[in-house]
Chains A and B, each alone.
Chain A
Amino acid sequence: MDALIVIFITGLISLFVAFMRKPMLVLGTSLLGLLIAAALLLNQWNHPYNLLAYKGLSFDHTAISYSLVAVLFTFLSILVGYKSFKEQLDHTGDYVALFLFSLTGALCIVSFTDMFMFFIGLEILSIPIYVLAGSKKKDAYSAEASLKYFLTGAFATGVLLFGIAWVYGAVGSFDLNEIAMNINAGETDSSLLKVGVLLIMAAFLFKVGAAPFHFWSPDVYAGSPTVVTGYMAAVVKLAAFGAFMKLFGSVFPAIHDFWAPALMVLAILTMFVGNLSALGQLKFKRLLAYSSITHVGYALLAIMTESPMSEQNLLFYLFSYGFSILALITISTIIDDEEDNIEAFKGLARRNPILGFVAVLALLSLAGVPPLVGFFGKYLIFSGAISQYPTLVIIAIANSGIGIYYYLKMIMTVASKEDNTNTGHLEVTPIQWFVMAVCVAGLLFGGAVLGYL
């Protein structure tokens, strides 16, 4: 709770600090705020307390671990974006503050205990992203991304609100515990409730970008500034999945048999749509968007699996996914190709072997090659689901097989040695090295975290 307040206030402070026109100071403030927030969260792990009498938010262990990962990825995202924020001196504070405000929303929706808070949190999470997506003001694609994301996002929020209203109509409460109790008490046949659950599910599927609600995501990913794309893939997805898991894993499990089949069909659809569309992509961020759709398909398996482990498995999966994405996004900002072509990655290993190494690691991790962290993430999800949904896991594994094609093509592009189309020195700032070092450490040793779970 206090972490939430710290992050919000840090956002405000960075807005004012920016008046001094010293970007380094803004960066320092925001990072310091995030570190304090992380420390507070860690403190809360062992000493649970509630700052306010208000019971709408509860930072239990799951919420704290989701929040910590979100804080970590936001920390890295701000660092990645620093180079481009710095160039627009008038707006440095705005960008950083918007990231922090969005993070506030993320913390809300992984810790809510009340539908009301959930709705507000989701809005706080999304609205800064609508703005950030359009922050390349002179770029038509960025404007398109922003508008598209806003219109469809607003519509999805409407659907969500409608769903919440139906659920309220069925059980007469916004409080998650009461809703769960009512459902468990046998009012599960209520069609009011079922309609509400389906509408909420649709809104979630939209937010995480699952088929058939995925159409916005390639355009938005491609049009947004690169660092915002990274933030959306790493943090927004994490938070949305955290809330998804919370509602469907602990509030609606009593009617699991009702919504799981629908989710199952959509998960299969999502995997195939993402993978098959990714095969022919020529633009890097579009490829990333489609690959991320596929990963959403895998993550949906964890939502469906009725097991006490699935909350943790899902978090670890998103955690492992974030490192790959942020590493690739960093490299993409270093290459800084106007057109965002995959071709621009050609010969990366020759131009700068370390960057090539990082890119290959990140791609292998996305593909799920051990001993990288992506493998463990995938493994946990699949092995959790295999006894309940064997066929679905086999389909997911087959999809990993399809996926290897475009990751491999990309790896070959990065590692190719003889083409000389791209030359020139790649400028890497110390901050970017730092981000990549963190990501590589995460990719290589992230699996070790499992030893402590």
Chain B
Amino acid sequence: MELLIIPCLFALIALVVPSNFMRQYALIGGAVSLILSVVAMVSFDVTGFKTIFDPHMVTSFGLTFKMGYDGMSLFMVVLTNLITFIILLSNYNRTLATNKSFTALVFLMQAALVGVFTAFDGLMFYIFWEITLIPVFLIALWFGSSERKKALMKFFIYTFVGSLAMLASLMAIKASAATFAHEDLVAVTLTAKAAYWIFAGFFLAFAIKIPLFPFHTWQPDTYTASPMAGTMLLSALMLKMALYGMIRWLVPLAPEALPDMTKIVVVLGIIGVVYAGVLAIKQSDIKRLFAFASISHVGLIAAGAILISHDNWSAVFIQMANHSLVAVGLFLAADIFEQRLGTRNLNDLGGIAKQAPKFAFMFGVLALASVSVPLSSGFIGEFMLLKGVYSYNWLVGVIAGTTLIIGAVYTLRAYQLSMFGAPKASPFADLALNEWLAFLIIMVLILVFGVYPQAMIDFVGPSIDNLIQTIK
């Protein structure tokens, strides 16, 4: 329970903390939650389940308030707290870091995300899912770039409509279940037709949030319009809710629809991989480029999430962690360009490797992790996902495999244009301490998980097996 309450408290206290202490306060808050969740992780039995809140009551409309975590949930909670800490760290020397409402909103977001990952009641999941929308929307609205309004309107309406579809599905499935508790909802047997509708409702919500082709059109604009921390929250954490939701809710609740729907989801995911990858090659705005790269990467993860198997789902969790780390790093890099030079246009950048060698090194490591070279955490996840998709259908697998090539093209192009050649703008200040630390943490984790991914598989594996057993 403290995992949920501590960030809420930090959010409230942030409103009265003096602004010259705000940076340190934010870091402390992030660190406290991170330490708490790591402690929870160390003392957790990976095959078990730990209840964090259960009043043992059912309201008249079936809400049970059940919250807890198994291996998968705890994995996501630790990831959330880790990424939030890195976001706060990389934001440390930005002017935004002294802002009260900004800090409060980030902590609120953290609390809501923890709620999403620990909810074991359908309605609680929905409630937390919706709450996450508010802080990220306000962060982008108050602190975003000048052309944000239209993009945000689109973002909010898209995601809200998706959520409403999910709500409809939840209500429909609840009509034949005793309560909203996860196990009761999973126990419902649906007719094929009902299952299609319920699946479609959930899928729409998740597909918009991830985002999958063709529901992705809000994403590049919103990512570009948000301030750095907002973009990081959106890409590194918010979309993980949807991937997690696919595994925890979509597949177990409406498995009757899977025989027909799997195809659609996999194909949409793979279209996104290729389509967004090709678009990323053509981008000159580096933040936009990373936004499209993100669509491309998560398309593959979504395809893996719909294919039930121990290996695929383990790979999904590895890839989620990897994508979160890499996305935070890349958007930090994009923001460093913007902050130092006032532009994100690749054509105005160049020769930075000579001026800022530390930055060039870190950015290089991230670029390589992003294209999944061996020994980086991206390699094993991507490899296992491609293997899963390949064994589902060889043709789709082959097409998905092009992600490795396309990814290398856009990432290395961005790296080459910005880092090499003649310097176009000078001087370029090298990394500040907090940026260097953030990159260092990301780099170390990428390497550790690249060398020893089994640690993650062992952690989420047993709970994945448990969940697969409950699926009819």
Pick the interface stretch among A76-84, A282-290, A393-401: A393-401
Q: Count of chain B residues with Cβ under 8 Å from any Cβ of A?
A: 30
Residue of A371, A386, A394, A404 near B160 (CB, 8 A) is A404
**CA A387 to CA B138, docked complex, whole Å:** 36
Whether A309 contacts B167 in the complex (CB less than 8 A), given A401-B161, A417-B142, comes out as no
A-chain residues with CB within 8 Å of residue B165 when the two chains form the complex: 397
Distance to closest chain B CB from A81 (angstroms): 32
Instruction: Kindly state whether residue B184 has any CB partner on chain A within 8 Å.
Output: no
Instruction: Kindly state whether residue B429 has any CB partner on chain A within 8 Å.
Output: no
Q: Using CB atoms, name the residue of chain A closest to B138.
A: A415
**CA A383 to CA B161, docked complex, whole Å:** 17
A-chain residues with CB within 8 Å of residue B57 when the two chains form the complex: 451
Instruction: Kindly state whether residue A370 has any CB partner on chain B within 8 Å.
Output: yes
A-chain residues with CB within 8 Å of residue B35 when the two chains form the complex: none
B63, B141, B168: most-surrounded residue (chain A CB, <10 A): B168
Residue of B123, B138, B157 near A401 (CB, 8 A) is B157
Q: Using CB atoms, name the residue of chain A closest to B129.
A: A370
* Cβ contact within 8 Å between B142 and A451: no
Query: Chain A binding site: helix, strand, loop or mixed by DSSP?
Result: helix
Query: Chain B binding site: helix, strand, loop or mixed by DSSP?
Result: helix
Of residues 169 through 211 on chain B, the ones whose CB sits less than 8 Å from some CB of chain A are 171-172, 174-175
Instruction: Kindly state whether residue B261 has any CB partner on chain A within 8 Å.
Output: no
Instruction: Kindly state whether residue B126 has any CB partner on chain A within 8 Å.
Output: yes
Q: Using CB atoms, name the residue of chain A closest to B15.
A: A353
Residue of B60, B131, B133 near A371 (CB, 8 A) is B131
Of residues 139 through 173 on chain B, the ones whose CB sits less than 8 Å from some CB of chain A are 141-142, 149, 152-153, 156-157, 160-161, 164-165, 167-168, 171-172
Residue of B131, B168, B175 near A397 (CB, 8 A) is B168
Q: Count of chain A residues with Cβ under 8 Å from any Cβ of B?
A: 31
* Cβ contact within 8 Å between A415 and B153: no
* Cβ contact within 8 Å between A390 and B172: yes
* Cβ contact within 8 Å between A400 and B130: no
* Cβ contact within 8 Å between A412 and B171: no
A-chain residues with CB within 8 Å of residue B130 when the two chains form the complex: 369-370, 375
**CA A364 to CA B142, docked complex, whole Å:** 17
Q: Using CB atoms, name the residue of chain B closest to A384.
A: B61
Distance to closest chain A CB from B36 (angstroms): 23
Instruction: Kindly state whether residue A193 has any CB partner on chain B within 8 Å.
Output: no
A-chain residues with CB within 8 Å of residue B167 when the two chains form the complex: 379, 382, 397
Instruction: Kindly state whether residue A453 has any CB partner on chain B within 8 Å.
Output: yes
A-chain residues with CB within 8 Å of residue B153 when the two chains form the complex: 405, 408-409, 412
Instruction: Kindly state whether residue B127 has any CB partner on chain A within 8 Å.
Output: yes
* Cβ contact within 8 Å between B168 and A393: yes
* Cβ contact within 8 Å between A405 and B141: no
Distance to closest chain A CB from B58 (angstroms): 10
* Cβ contact within 8 Å between B164 and A401: yes
* Cβ contact within 8 Å between B59 and A451: yes
B-chain residues with CB within 8 Å of residue A401 when the two chains form the complex: 157, 160-161, 164
Of residues 17 through 68 on chain A, the ones whose CB sits less than 8 Å from some CB of chain B are none
- Top 3 A-B pairs, shortest CB-CB distance: A370-B127, A401-B161, A383-B171
A to B CB contacts below 8 Å, 18 in the list: A369-B133, A370-B130, A383-B174, A383-B175, A386-B168, A386-B175, A397-B165, A401-B157, A401-B161, A404-B161, A408-B157, A409-B153, A415-B138, A415-B142, A416-B141, A450-B59, A451-B57, A451-B59
